Structure 1
Amino acid sequence: MTKRVRAKKALGQHFLHDESVAERIAEILVSRRDLPILEVGPGMGVLTKYLLSIYRDTVVVELDGESVEYLRETFPELQGDRLIEGDFLTLPLDRIFPEEQPFLLIGNYPYNISSQIFFHMLEYRDLIPMAGGMLQREVARRLTSEPGTRDYGILTVLLRAWYDAEYLFTVPPGAFTPPPKVQSGVLRLTRNDRTTLGVSEQSFRRVVKAVFAQRRKMIRSSLRGLLPESIPPEIERYLTMRPEQLDVEDFIALTRAVDEKTICPNDEETLR
C-alpha cells in the first residue's frame, strides 16, 4: 500500500487535498487542449490526476524524493522522462518537450519559491503561452495588481511586459494538508502579443528594480546617476512620480531615456 507523503516545511509543502479545487484549477487553466502540460511540484498528485485526464502526456517535475516515489507508484502513466526528479529553477525548459514545443505551465507552487518560479518562466516566455496555478494569495494579488495600487511591484511589471494576468479565485487553508497560515490564490498568465520591448531587457530590469528599491521616492531620486544630463521632454513628467504610478509602457519609455544603446523594435537581438 502506498504511504502518504510527509509534508516538509523546508520545501514549503502544503498538499492540496480538496478534489473540487483541483478539478476547477485544471478545467480553468487548461484553455488549450492541443498543448502539453508541465506541472511544477505535484506533491501527492491531486492536481496531476485531473491534468492527466485532460492531456495524457503531462510531464511533472518534483524535487522531493518521497513525493517522486509516491507518484511513481500511484501514477503508472508517469513513466520515464515524464516524471522529472529535480529542481524546476535549474531546468532548461526548452528541453522538456521535443523540438522546443510550446507548453502550459501549471502548479500548486511552493510558497517559498513562487516568485523565483515566475522569474525562471520569463526566460522561456516564447515557449509558454499560458501559465497559472496556486500560490500565496498575497503574491497572487501582487502579480495581478494594477498601477496605482500598493501591491504593484517589480515582478508585476516584469511579468506584465509579456503576460496578461488574471486573479481567478481564492482557496482557504482547509483545502490543504497541513493547512497553511494564509489564504491561497489561483491566477492565470496569458502571453500577450509583444515580441520586443524596443529597449535592452537588461536595462529595463535595472530601471524597474532601481525605482522600486526606493518606492517611496520620486523617480528622479531613484534614477539619479542613470538619467542623461538632458532630459527628453516626454520623460520629464515621470520624474516627480513614484514607481507604482507607472505602467509597462511608461517603464519602457523611461528605460529608453537612460539606456545608452537603444535596441530598435525590429532588432533581432533579444536579451534573455
Structure 2
Amino acid sequence: MNKRNPTPNMHGHKARKRFGQNFLHDPYIIGKIVSSIHPKESDCLVEIGPGMGALTEPLLEATGKLQVVELDRDLIPILRTKFFNYPNFRIHEGDAMKFDFTTLLEPGQKLRIVGNLPYNISTPLIFHLLSYHARVDDMHFMLQKEVVERLAAAPGSSDYGRLGIMAQYYCRVEPLFIVGPGSFNPPPKVDSAIVRLRPYEQLPIEAKSVATLQQVVREAFSMRRKTIRNTMRNLISAEQLEALGIDTSLRPEVLTLEQYVRIADAVFAERQVEPEESMDGTE
C-alpha cells in the first residue's frame, strides 16, 4: 500500500483552505483506518471527500467498487485517472452537505459511509448524515479530536451538548484512535480522531417528535451556564419540569438523553400537532 499511496503534491494539487482540505498520507494510519472499517465486497460503500485517494485506493482494493462524493472539481480528473481500471468506481461531484445519499442506495442494502471530514463543516455535515440513519449501517469518520469528544460525551461533561445528544439518540458512538497532525499534508493545528457511528436498528429511546427534541436541546444549550429553569422557560414552565421529575436547578449538561426526550414529549403533547423539520447543524 505504501508504494501506491498518492504523494501530497500529486499532479501539483495544493490543499485548499476554503474546502478545509488536509490530505492524509501516513500509510500506517491509512491501514489502521481501513482495518477499523473492515470493508467487504458486498458493501454499499460511500466515501465523502476522497481528496487524492489515500483511503480510496485500499477501499477499492478490498471491495472492487466504491462511490465517492467530491466537491473540489480539480480533484476529479486526478481520481478518474488514478482509478480508471476500476469499472465500479463512481464519482459524484457535489457538496456532501446538500447531497441526497438515498440516491446511492442499492436494493436490500444499507450504506456504509466513510470520510476524512473537513473540520470547518464537520458538525453540520454530521447532522445532515444523521438524517439518513435508517438507511445507514455504519459511519467511520476522521474528525477534529474535540468533535469526537463532543460526539461521545456523557452527561456531566463539559463536552456534552447538542451534537452528542442527537448523535447518541440515533447511534452508538465509539471513538477509535487519535491521529496526530503529522499524518496530513498540510498538517492541521489540532489532533484528529477516528470515530465509528453505528445507527440503532431500533431506537432505545424514541421521541414523539424529533423536531421538538431538536428544539428543546437547542434551547437548553443556548445558555449552558444557566439552569434548566431559565433556559427552557420559553418552551415549558418550571412547574411542568418538576412534574416530569426534572430538577430545575440543574444545568443543561447534567440532564440525560432520556430526560431531554421526556421534556420534548411533554412540549410536543402540549402543542398536539407540529410538522417535522429537517435536521440542521446550527449550534
Is the TM value for this pair above 0.5?
A: yes
> Cα deviation per residue 1:122-178 (whole Å; 9 max; x = unaligned)?
111111121112011111111111111101111110110010111111111111111
8 Å CA contact 1:72–1:79 kept in 2: the answer is no
In structure 2, distance between residues paired with 1:33 and 1:103? 13
Change (3 A) 1:83 1:100: farther
Give the one of 244, 248, 251 matched to 1:239.
248
Give the one of 43, 48, 60 matched to 1:40.
48
Q: TM (normalized to structure 1)?
A: 0.90
Tell me the secondary structure at the aligned position of residue 104 of structure 1. Answer: strand
Corresponding residue number in structure 2 for 1:202: 211
Alignment of 1:75-224 (within 5 A): 75-77=83-85, 82-99=90-107, 101-195=109-203, 197-224=206-233
Change (3 A) 1:151 1:34: same
Q: TM (normalized to structure 2)?
A: 0.87
Change (3 A) 1:240 1:262: farther
In structure 2, distance between residues paired with 1:4 and 1:36? 32
Q: CA deviation at 1:247?
A: 1.8
Give the one of 246, 249, 254 matched to 2:258.
249
RMSD in angstroms over aligned alpha carbons? 2.3
In structure 1, distance between residues paired with 2:196 and 2:35? 12
Change (3 A) 1:95 1:81: farther
8 Å CA contact 1:131–1:188 kept in 2: the answer is yes
8 Å CA contact 1:30–1:104 kept in 2: the answer is no
Q: CA deviation at 1:238?
A: 3.4
Tell me the secondary structure at the aligned position of residue 74 of structure 2. Answer: helix
Q: CA deviation at 1:101?
A: 3.4
In structure 2, distance between residues paired with 1:218 and 1:199? 25
Name the aligned partner's letter for residue 266 of structure 2: A
8 Å CA contact 2:83–2:89 kept in 1: the answer is no
Q: Does 1:59 align with 2:28?
A: no
Unaligned runs of 5+ in 1: 264-268
Unaligned runs of 5+ in 2: 1-9, 279-283
8 Å CA contact 2:40–2:63 kept in 1: the answer is no
